[in-house]
Chains A and B, each alone.
Chain A
Amino acid sequence: MPLRNCRDVKVLNVSPVGTPAAPDEFFELTLEYPDWDGWKPGQFVMVRPASWELDLIWGRPFSICSAGGGTLTLFIQKAGRGTSRLARITPGETVTVWGPLGNSFAVEPDTPTLLLAGGIGIAPFRGYVEHHPAPENLKLFLAHRVPRECYPFDALCERVECASLRERTREDLDAIIETLGGLIREYAAKGGLVLSCGPTPFMRTVQRFAAEHGARAQVSLENRMACGVGACLGCVTKDGDGHHVQVCTKGPVFWADKVEL
């Protein structure tokens, strides 16, 4: 079996995830497993439904939430044309999937590891927690805007220590920033590892506190992509030396002190 491939697979299930207040913003997409010989948490896939024909040109990049046992599961927030159409896909339809793509989060079994998720940025951490050999060394903090029930949070709480804060007001945001600062300082002091995924302002805050407290931290970027394989140069970010590098192949995970956000 190849390291990575491009396959047409069937949609097995599409489940809206949410509450009456936020009924249809999130969904879990379960696909047939594309026959990989492995994958690592933090990697992503490109997904393009056959029904898009030539209307929408690009596949869409999604973190791998979990994979194995015949299925590939993605956790998706509707954010634009592509994800909105993807939310309406039905079981049995065909999607083209290429992956697993990109690098992955650092895994250091014996190191206290802090997982910082901003909203939908929780998606890759589900796989991270499931794969980690010593989940007792993990702690997850979720900062979110819509109700917590919209995220795969409770399932993670069964395996690792979890905390969350919801942002509804300016004061909430201050509290989130303060919590991030406190947690990162704590993990820096004990030689821990900090991993984060979320909106750019969220990761900028993580990057700033990591620099301030000397924490080893990684951030996972979610730039717009066309090819996903390093060719189009549409997803680049600047590395620590100010050079443009592809997020799809050099990332999506970067050490926080080696990327410009």
Chain B
Amino acid sequence: MNMHVSIGGLELKNPVLTASGTFGFGLEFAPYGDLEKLGGFVAKGISLKPREGNPMPRIAETPCGMLNAIGIQNPGVEAFITQALPALKGKDVAVIANLYACDAVEFGKLASVLAAEEGVAALEVNVSCPNVKEGGVAFGQDPAQITKVTESVKRNAGGKHVMVKLSPNVTDIAVCARAAEAGGADSLSLINTLSGMAVDVRTRKPRIANVVAGLSGPAIKPVALRCVHQAVRAVDIPVVGIGGISSAEDALEFILVGAHAVQVGTANFLRPDFSFGLAEAMEKLLIEIGAESLEGFRGSLELPL
């Protein structure tokens, strides 16, 4: 079965991407599988300047999920370009850069630095990271800001595909989806983590130094499916589904509600080779359930009248 997908000009050999922050810059996972088995991967979020990120502890395991508040620790865009990208050169896999910044101007600058990089297939805009007190969360929850940031990135992206990653921590995801589309987004990816918290009754302390953290993993899949379902009906641009995907069946659920592709996040921690076999498993399952094509199956959810 043809698993190729075209997402607003971004050509992927299969619909499996890995989610930002769960797959490093790709090479961390190279010992465990062939990166070329993926449609692509979204690199760890990068900012103009290096960031040390949040204090420890940064992660906590929760029922069927986990909390994280890493705080976009990254070596900065320069190191990404001079160190990570050259190591990936020649690999037949779409490398999607994930952009983090604190205002629209900075987002634009970051986009312009990456616009010239041949090795970058697309830019994903993080308007939703809830971990950094002065940034992401404000953009992601304000439709006007989402439009503004999207415009700024698109204007500076040199024609590169711009994917806007939405936060689920909003009243109406459809409004946010339309705001990104209005700003010129070529596609949407959702959901980012749900805002959450964990505490310890014995030490009487939060389990995460940042106190508030982002929940991911199988626990959030139903929320993610609902958000993707609403977003695909709100916009005309393609949507990439993210949230708790831990099997081929999970991935096809997102395709069924209308997603063009999926991103695997926390499941990369179940085992480091998880994502490499997913596209094949999806294809097998599509055949098994009698779907004629990936495209035909997409969005074929039968809703009650």
B21: chain A residues within 8 A (beta carbon): 232-233
Contact of A57 among B31, B64, B73, B272 (CB under 8 A): B64
Tally chain B residues at the interface, Cβ within 8 Å.
33
Q: Does A244 contact B (CB under 8 A)?
A: yes
Which residue from chain A places its CB closest to the CB of B23 in the assembled complex?
A: A231
In contact, A237 and B271 (Cβ under 8 angstroms): no
Q: Does B28 contact A (CB under 8 A)?
A: yes
Which residue from chain B places its CB closest to the CB of A243 in the assembled complex?
A: B52
In contact, A4 and B31 (Cβ under 8 angstroms): yes
Q: Which 4 A-B pairs have the closest CB atoms?
A: A234-B59, A231-B24, A54-B218, A231-B28
A255: chain B residues within 8 A (beta carbon): none
Contact of A226 among B32, B44, B269 (CB under 8 A): B269
Contact of A58 among B44, B66, B73, B246 (CB under 8 A): B66
In contact, A48 and B53 (Cβ under 8 angstroms): no
Q: Does A69 contact B (CB under 8 A)?
A: no
Interface residues in B39-94 (C-beta closer than 8 Å to A): 44, 52-53, 56-59, 61, 63-66, 68, 70, 73
B66: chain A residues within 8 A (beta carbon): 57-58, 226
B112: chain A residues within 8 A (beta carbon): none
Write the nearest CB–CB distance from B168 to chain A, whole angstroms. 19
Assuming A98-B32, A226-B66, A227-B268, what are 6 further A-B pairs, CB within 8 angstroms?
A: A57-B217, A226-B59, A229-B24, A230-B24, A233-B44, A235-B59
Write the nearest CB–CB distance from B61 to chain A, whole angstroms. 6
- Hey, which bits of chain A sit against chain B, CB under 8 A? 2-6, 48, 54-59, 81-82, 96, 98, 223-224, 226-237, 243-244, 249
Which residue from chain A places its CB closest to the CB of B68 in the assembled complex?
A: A234
In contact, A244 and B28 (Cβ under 8 angstroms): no
Q: Does B297 contact A (CB under 8 A)?
A: no
20 CB-based A-B contacts, threshold 8 Å = A6-B273, A48-B271, A54-B218, A54-B270, A57-B65, A57-B218, A59-B269, A82-B61, A98-B272, A224-B57, A226-B59, A226-B68, A226-B269, A229-B32, A231-B22, A231-B23, A232-B21, A233-B70, A234-B58, A234-B59
In contact, A96 and B31 (Cβ under 8 angstroms): no
Write the nearest CB–CB distance from A30 to chain B, whole angstroms. 21
Which residue from chain B places its CB closest to the CB of A237 in the assembled complex?
A: B56
In contact, A232 and B68 (Cβ under 8 angstroms): yes
CA distance A163 to B146 in the complex (A): 64
Write the nearest CB–CB distance from B88 to chain A, whole angstroms. 15
B56: chain A residues within 8 A (beta carbon): 223, 236-237
B64: chain A residues within 8 A (beta carbon): 54-55, 57
Contact of A5 among B29, B32, B57, B59 (CB under 8 A): B32
CA distance A33 to B44 in the complex (A): 33
Q: Does B266 contact A (CB under 8 A)?
A: yes
In contact, A55 and B28 (Cβ under 8 angstroms): no
Interface residues in B1-51 (C-beta closer than 8 Å to A): 21-24, 28-29, 31-32, 44
Given known A-B contacts A232-B68, A237-B56, A56 and B61 have beta carbons under 8 A apart? yes
A233: chain B residues within 8 A (beta carbon): 21, 44, 53, 58, 70, 73
Which residue from chain B places its CB closest to the CB of A98 in the assembled complex?
A: B272
B68: chain A residues within 8 A (beta carbon): 226, 232, 234
In contact, B44 and A231 (Cβ under 8 angstroms): yes
Write the nearest CB–CB distance from A51 to chain B, whole angstroms. 13
Which residue from chain A places its CB closest to the CB of B250 in the assembled complex?
A: A54
Interface residues in B259-303 (C-beta closer than 8 Å to A): 266, 268-273
Given known A-B contacts A55-B64, A57-B64, A57-B266, A230 and B271 have beta carbons under 8 A apart? no
In contact, A6 and B271 (Cβ under 8 angstroms): yes
B70: chain A residues within 8 A (beta carbon): 232-234
In contact, B273 and A232 (Cβ under 8 angstroms): no
A81: chain B residues within 8 A (beta carbon): 61
In contact, A229 and B28 (Cβ under 8 angstroms): yes
In contact, A57 and B270 (Cβ under 8 angstroms): yes
Which residue from chain A places its CB closest to the CB of B216 in the assembled complex?
A: A57
CA distance A96 to B270 in the complex (A): 9
CA distance A167 to B271 in the complex (A): 38
CA distance A48 to B246 in the complex (A): 15
Contact of B53 among A231, A235, A244 (CB under 8 A): A244
Which residue from chain A places its CB closest to the CB of B33 in the assembled complex?
A: A6
CA distance A237 to B31 in the complex (A): 24
Write the nearest CB–CB distance from B66 to chain A, whole angstroms. 5
Which residue from chain A places its CB closest to the CB of B52 in the assembled complex?
A: A244
CA distance A236 to B52 in the complex (A): 10
Write the nearest CB–CB distance from B252 to chain A, whole angstroms. 17
Which residue from chain B places its CB closest to the CB of A80 in the assembled complex?
A: B61
